[in-house]
Structure 1
Amino acid sequence: MTFLKVIALLLLFAAVTLGTTDLDACTFKADNGMMYDLSPLRKREGSYSWTETVWNTAGNLYYNTNFGEKTSFFIQLQICGNVSNIKYKSCNVTSPVYLAASDGSSCLKLGSTDSAVFKLAPFGDGLYLDYYDGESVDHITNYEARVYIICNKGVEVIPPQMEHMKDSHQVHFKMHSKHACPM
C-alpha cells in the first residue's frame, strides 16, 4: 500500500469513526460516551460459518430476492479477529471474513483486522463493524465487509447472514445481539 493511500485511510477513519475502537478487547467507546463490549460475539473456535444462496441480479448479489441466477457461497466470518479453522485451502490469506465458492475452488479475502473499525449505525439501533483492505478488485478498489450488528436486548446472538453485495466489492452482513446495545 502506498504512503498516500495509508494517509488517506487514516484521515478517513479519523473522520468517520466517531469513537474509539479496540479490536483486541473487542470494545467500542462512542464519542457520546456510550460503551459497547462485543467480545462475547467473538467465536472461540473458528468462526461463524454457513452456506448462503444469493441471487445475482445485474452484477449485484442479493439475499432477499428470488429472481436472477442463483449462486451459493460458503462464508466464514469472525468478530474482532481472524478466522481460524479455515475450511478451504483456497482461503490462504489471513482474514476476518472469507467468501468462498461452495466447492472451495476460489476464495475472496473480504477485509483485514489491521484496518477494522466500529461505527455507530446511523439508525441508532446498533453498530457497524467495517473490515477494509480485502483482496484487490482493481488497482484502486479492494473488497470490504460491513457487519451490521443490531441491538436486540432479548437475544445473546442471532448469527450473521449475508444481506447483499454493493458495488461489486462491499459485502454486507447483519446479525442481532444484546451486546450491540450500549452498556
Structure 2
Amino acid sequence: MLRTGIFLILMLACFMSVFGRFLSTDCQYMDPTTGKKYDLRPLISSNPAGYTWNQTIWSIGGYSLDSLSNDVQVNVSFQLQLCKDIQPIFKGCNSTGAAYSYDMKNGCINWGQATAAAFDVVPFKDGVFLQMFHGDKINHWQKYMSNIYIVCDKTVTQPMPMFEHIKSDISQAHFKIRTKLMC
C-alpha cells in the first residue's frame, strides 16, 4: 500500500514537472524554472456568463476557423471564463465547460473544462497559458480542447479575450488575453 502511494506521488510529480501543474481553485501558477508567480484571479470575469464576444473570422476549406487566413468570412460568438466552468449561453450547448463557440454552421462547441486543465509558461516567456481538456466529444477517442495564452501587454487597460485560430489536426482552439498583469 505504501509503495503504491509513493509511486502515485512520483508519477504526479513527473507529470506536473513536464506539463505544468493542474489548475487549482486558487487560479495561480508558479513557473518552476524561475519561481515567478502568476495570479490570474483578477482576470476571472465577474459576469456569470464569463467573457462573451462576437468575432468575424475566416473559414478555411469549410471546416477550420482561423483569424489569420481567408476563404469565407464567418461570424462566431464566443464565451470564455478562466479557472472555473460556466453555464453556456448558446443554443445547443449540452456539456459543462469554460470555453464555447457558436456559429450557424457548426452550432455550439465546448472547447474544454476548467476542471480538466493545466498551466504552463508561454513559449516566449511573456506570460502563461492554460490548457483545457475534455471539451465536446469528436469521436470515440478524441475531444475538443483549447489553449488560452495570457500574455504581457503593458498598454492594455481592460483585458479582453480574442480568438486566434484552430489547429484542426488536433481540434484545439487558441485564444489570447493580453494584460499588464503578466508583466
TM range (shorter): 0.7 to 0.9
The match for 1:174 is: 176
Distance in 1 between residues matched to 2:90 and 2:18, nearest whole Å: 35
Counterpart secondary structure, 1:40:
helix
Mind listing any 5+ residue stretches in structure 2 that lack a counterpart?
A: 1-7
Cα deviation, 1:22-54, whole Å, max 9, x if unaligned, reads: 431110011021101010000011211011221
The TM-score, its normalising length taken from structure 1, stands at 0.81
Aligned ranges 1:31-180 → 2 under 5 Å: 31=32, 32-45=34-47, 46-58=49-61, 59-65=63-69, 67-84=70-87, 86-101=88-103, 106-167=107-168, 169-180=171-182
1:3 alignment counterpart: none
Does structure 2 conserve the Cα–Cα contact (< 8 Å) formed by 1:147 and 1:174?
yes
CA–CA distance in structure 1, aligned partners of residues 182 and 91 of structure 2: 33
Count of residues paired in the alignment: 169
Post-superposition offset of 1:11: 8.9
Percent identity, aligned pairs only?
Answer: 30
Distance in 2, Cα, partners of 1:161 & 1:117: 20
User: Normalization by structure 2: what TM-score?
Assistant: 0.81
Q: Secondary structure at the match of 1:79?
A: coil
Residue 26 (structure 1) aligns with: 27
Distance apart, 1:12 and its partner CA:
8.7
Name the CA shift for 1:87/1:102 in 2 (closer, same or farther; >3 Å). Answer: farther
Provide the alpha-carbon RMSD of the alignment.
2.4
Cα 1:78–1:148 shift into 2, 3 Å: same
The answer to whether the 8 A contact 1:21-1:27 is kept is no
Deviations 1:110-140 (A, max 9, x none): 1012211111011111111111111111222
Q: What letter matches 1:91 in structure 2? A: C
Q: In the alignment, residue 53 of structure 1 is paired with which amino acid?
A: T
Shift of 1:73: 1.5
Aligned in 2, Cα 1:178/1:13: closer, same or farther, shift over 3 Å? farther
Q: Take 2:14 and 2:92, find their aligned partners in 1: how far apart are those partners?
A: 32
